[in-house]
């Protein structure tokens, strides 16, 4: 796995030394509200640490569907709430999207924020992701209730 560099972030493999900082971010109330409680990352995904200004800023992961009929990649991430609104998430998504399109040859990417997560939807829109539709009662939230998700996708020529 290579190190990927964006304008604001570096995406690199997670090390054992990163786990305490990632755990603190992952278990913050703002992140738990969106990700529920659980693992630091998806065991089946390709995982990158988001580093900003020399510190752990969050985590981003991607999964790939390699069936030629449906080939695409998906992205998911969380960012330290102390860094929200600073363009860190947008730059991390753009950096990983560029890698998935240019280096891995994907023509389409997907991301699925909670339908009420306006900040995430705006951030992904800055990269070029467009809303496809609402996935009703898509995920169970930390509150135990089902919440809608917004499916967004990006075609290779839409990457900004």
The CB-side HSE value for 68 (13 A sphere, CA atoms) comes to: 0
| Residue 143: per-residue pLDDT | 84
Report the predicted TM-score, pTM, of the whole model to 2 decimal places. 0.94
Angle, vertex CA 101, rays to CA 97 and CA 105, nearest 5: 150
* Per-residue model confidence (pLDDT) at position 1: 78
Domain ranges of the chain: 4-158
**What is the pLDDT at residue 44?**
82
Residue 125: the pLDDT is 97
pLDDT of residue 9: 98
In order, the DSSP letters of the chain are ---EE-SS-EEE---GGGHHHHHHHHTSHHHHHHH-S--SS-TTSEEEEEEETTEEEEEEEEEEE--TTT-EEEEEEEE-GGGTTTTHHHHHHHHHHHIIIIIT--SEEEE--BTT-HHHHHHHHHHT-EEEEEEEEEEE-TTSSEEEEEEEEEEGGG--
* pLDDT per residue of the chain (160 residues) written in tens, 0 to 9: 789 999 999 999 999 999 999 999 999 999 988 887 678 888 788 999 999 999 999 999 999 999 999 999 999 999 999 999 999 999 999 999 999 999 999 999 999 999 999 999 999 999 999 999 999 999 988 888 999 999 999 999 999 8
CATH class name, domain 4-158: alpha beta
């Amino acid at each position: 796995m290579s190190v990927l560099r964006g304008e604001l972030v570096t995406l690199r493999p997670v090390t054992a030394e990163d786990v305490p900082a990632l755990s603190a971010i992952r278990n913050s109330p703002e992140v738990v509200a969106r990700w529920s409680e659980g693992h630091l990352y998806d065991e089946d995904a390709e995982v990158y640490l988001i580093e900003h200004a020399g510190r752990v800023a969050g985590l981003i992961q991607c999964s790939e569907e390699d069936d030629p009929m449906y080939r695409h990649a998906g992205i998911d991430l969380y960012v330290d709430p102390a860094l929200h609104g600073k363009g860190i998430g947008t730059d991390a998504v753009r950096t990983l999207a560029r890698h998935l399109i240019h280096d891995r040859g994907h023509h389409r990417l997907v991301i699925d924020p909670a339908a009420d997560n306006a900040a995430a939807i705006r951030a992904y829109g800055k990269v070029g992701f467009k809303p496809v539709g609402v996935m009703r009662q898509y995920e169970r939230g930390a509150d135990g209730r089902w919440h809608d998700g917004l499916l967004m996708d990006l075609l290779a020529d839409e990457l900004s």
